[in-house]
Amino acid sequence: MIPLEWYLALAGLIFGMGALSILINRNLIIVLISLEVMLAGVNLALVALSHYMNDIRGQVLALFSIAVAAGSVAVGLSLLIANFNLRKSIDIEDLRELREEQGND
Amino acid sequence: MIYLIFAYFCASMIGITLMALTRKNPVHSVLWLLLLFLHIAVLYLFLNAEFLAVVQVIVYAGAILVMFLFTVFLLGAKELPKGKRYTDLPEGKALIGLSLTGVFIGAFSSITTAWKGKYTIEYIEKIGNTKALGVMLFNEYPLAVFLLGIILLIPMIAVAVIAWRAK
Amino acid sequence: MIELIIIFIKTAVVFGVVLAHVAYTTYAERKIIGRAQARMGPMEVGPYGLLQPIADFIKIFFKEDIVPMNAEKVLFQIAPLIVLVFTMINLTVIPFDRNFILADLNIGLLFILASASVAVYGIILAGWSSNSRYSFLGGLRSASQVLSYEIALGLSLAGVVLSAGSLNLREIVIAQHNTVFGVYAIPQIIGFIVFVISAFAETNRAPFDLPEAETELVAGYLTEYSAFRYALFFLAEYVAMYIMAFLCALCFLGGWTIPKFIIDILPFLEKVPGILWFAIKVYAFIFLYIWVRATLPRYRFDQLLNIGWKVLIPAGIVNLLIVAFIKRLGL
């Protein structure tokens, strides 16, 4: 039997790679993709814990998380397209509307 | 044998995630992500979560990734940010990300199971994974299921409104 | 070891029989459409043109395999394989007879839906990687069509799952056999109709064959394909037709069983092997496919999406509600 820690380490690694990619990528689509990668890592951890703790609640949580992910991605992608129609850009650095004006950038 | 299979999955999932997050073309990125989700579905099968494995494929592969592909096609795959690929100060952020990853791995892998529930493998085998999940879902979390329905309804309206405005 | 060999032989038999059926379905299609249009159909190769599928097969496999210069080469080449593999894999969970099933999964029905949703990628990729407007539009059309109709298909199958109380295809058939009518097509007539229409759209067949509408898009996502990669798509389409026919026979028409009230009237029918009933139901559904193709004109794309979202999905939900009430009242 595979130790639980291995599954959790794998999940943590996938989550961490997603987080890292969100921090450094400029492309909004890649950022949303990294978000999905992070969610996949979390779900993997939930299911692994559910299996090793003999409790099916972890799978129920993972099911909820998958459903909410579907909704959030739909909104995120439609916002992305609306933003693209407005600014002709999917660069994350262009999203500076709400920033306070500063003397020297 | 089981260790070999798990080692394969670990290695290939890490490799696939790296490939997915470093591709220049978002279409390739989405395809690597599809491969990652299929691998995760197989890992779910190892963890006796057959229903979740299939739901993972249906929802992620069947709906979410196709939405990504459609978005990329709508934007035109050539419309990438020209010039720099990474944000300012990538080294500092990478350092933060890497240390976060380290913390996650360390914290996650030091989790130990404090107690055991009644859903042992034999019990789930007997009544079936889908049935056990359904009984738990509808008996213990009925309100959450209702809320989930609303949570899925609101994005539907929101997307329609955003698309309407964009026109 | 012996078990492994038996499984191997079973798999070979299933795949071989289905592929032979696919070959002769093309022949049947040409013959039936020929009859519908007062022609003879293929007559030249062999008696009554019976060897025509083999001749086509030989011809198409010896043609040159052309890859367009600006195509995404790897994706272009694996796209047909994705479609074919994720269509053929469904054959493993289909119970052909009481005890003849390759893999008796608890979630057989969901497995079929899942692999159908992965097979869509083959079509999208074929359209995108060809780097041609016609292919791209065909691929997008096909993807949005298949995705829209998969919801309706899933809703109509949800009624079946609800009344059978299982996702295992074998148990669905047995639960069905124990009801009064013996088939779910009678109490769930709305669901049955929704299923049939969505099955036509899911497999990109007439009257919903817009992705390959030759009057508008040359051949849709198939435009740039030639030789055996084209043949693989073709094969996948016909296997998908058979999968839909199997699903229809299993979930709505009682699979390998016949209703109990018919056995009460004609008791000798019980001696007939189950596989024969199954085959008859499947052939009837395939004939319906061909018949509709010979009869109905093609829909426009907006009409197609309107039918899917505004008619079939609400009808599927109504069917689900009716089934839930029937189940609750214990009828």
Q: What is the pLDDT of residues C254-264, one digit of tens each?
A: 878 888 777 77
**Chain B touched by A105 (CB under 8 Å):** no
- Chain A hits for B40, CB-CB cut-off 8 Å, are 40, 43-44
Question: Span B57-76, mean pLDDT?
Answer: 84
Of B78 and B164, more confident:
B164
- Residues 21-60, chain A: which have Cβ within 8 Å of B? 21, 23-27, 29-30, 32-34, 36-37, 40, 43-45, 47-57, 59-60
Q: What is the mean pLDDT of chain C?
A: 84
% residues pLDDT > 90 (chain C): 0
A6 Cβ contact partners less than 8 Å away, ≥ 6 residues apart: B6, B10, B109
In 3D space, the residue among C51, A33, C13, C89 whose CA is nearest the CA of residue B16 turns out to be: A33
Residue A31 domain flag: yes
pLDDT interval class at C35 (50, 70, 90): confident
Question: What pLDDT sits at residue C145?
Answer: 85
Interface membership of B61 toward A (CB under 8 Å): no
Q: What is the pLDDT of residue C250?
A: 87
Band of residue C214 on the pLDDT scale cut at 50, 70, 90: low
Residues 108-167 of B with CB under 8 A from A: 108-113, 115-121, 124, 132-133, 136-137, 140-141, 144, 148, 151-152, 154-156, 158-159, 162-163, 165-166
Calpha distance B97→B93 (Å, rounded) = 6
Q: Where are the domains of chain B?
A: 1-78, 129-167
DSSP state of C62: T
State the pLDDT confidence band at C6, using cuts at 50, 70 and 90: confident
Residue B81 has pLDDT above 60, yes or no: no
Cross-chain Cβ contact B66/C128 below 8 Å: no
Q: Omega into C207 within 30° of 0, i.e. cis?
A: yes
3-state class percentages of chain B: helix first, strand second, coil last, to nearest 5: 80, 0, 20
pLDDT of residue A84: 81
Predicted confidence at residue B84, as pLDDT, reads 66
Phi–psi pair at C97, nearest 5 degrees? -150, 180
- Residues in chain B closer than 8 A to A73 (CB atoms): 64, 67-68
> What average pLDDT does this structure show over B88-101?
76
Range in B26-35, C67-76, C192-201 the model is least confident about? C67-76
Comparing B12-21, B35-44, B114-123, the range with the smallest average pLDDT is B114-123
Rounded to an integer, what distance in angstroms lies between the CA atom of residue C324 and that of residue C162? 7
B47 shares contact with chain A (CB less than 8 Å)? yes
Reported as type and span, the H/E element at residue C331 is none
Please state the domain count of chain A. 1
pTM of the model: 0.86
In a domain, A54, yes or no: yes
Tell whether A9 is covered by a domain: no
- Is residue C213 predicted with pLDDT exceeding 70? no
Per-residue model confidence as pLDDT tens digits over C180-200: 777 887 788 888 898 998 888
Q: Is residue B127 pLDDT above 80, yes or no? A: no
- Which residue is it, tokens 């609303």? B150
Paired with C216 in beta bridges are none
Instruction: Choose from C73, C113, C120, C121 for mutation: most chain B CBs within 10 A.
Output: C121
Q: Model confidence at A102, in pLDDT bands (50, 70, 90)?
A: low
Q: Which residues span the domain enclosing A86?
A: 27-94
Amino acid identity of residue C263, one-letter, is: I
H/E stretch holding A98 reads none
Residue A35 lies in a domain: yes
**Cβ-count burial of C3 within 10 angstroms (0-12 exposed, 13-18 middle, 19+ buried)?**
exposed
Per-residue pLDDT band at C15 (split at 50, 70, 90): confident
* Mean pLDDT confidence for B91-95: 76
The pLDDT-based confidence of A103 (bands split at 50, 70, 90) is: low
- What ipTM was predicted for this assembly? 0.84
The answer to whether C122 and C200 have CB atoms below 8 angstroms apart is no
User: Has residue A14 been placed in a domain?
Assistant: no
At the topology level of CATH, where does B1-78 sit? Answer: Four Helix Bundle (Hemerythrin (Met), subunit A) (1.20.120)
Q: What is the mean pLDDT of residues B138-152?
A: 89
Three-class SS state of A101:
coil
Cα–Cα dist C246/C264, whole Å:
26
| Residue A7, in any domain of the structure | no
* The pLDDT of residue A20: 84
Mean pLDDT value across residues C62-83: 82
Q: Please, are residues C144 and C306 in contact by the beta-carbon 8 Å criterion?
A: no
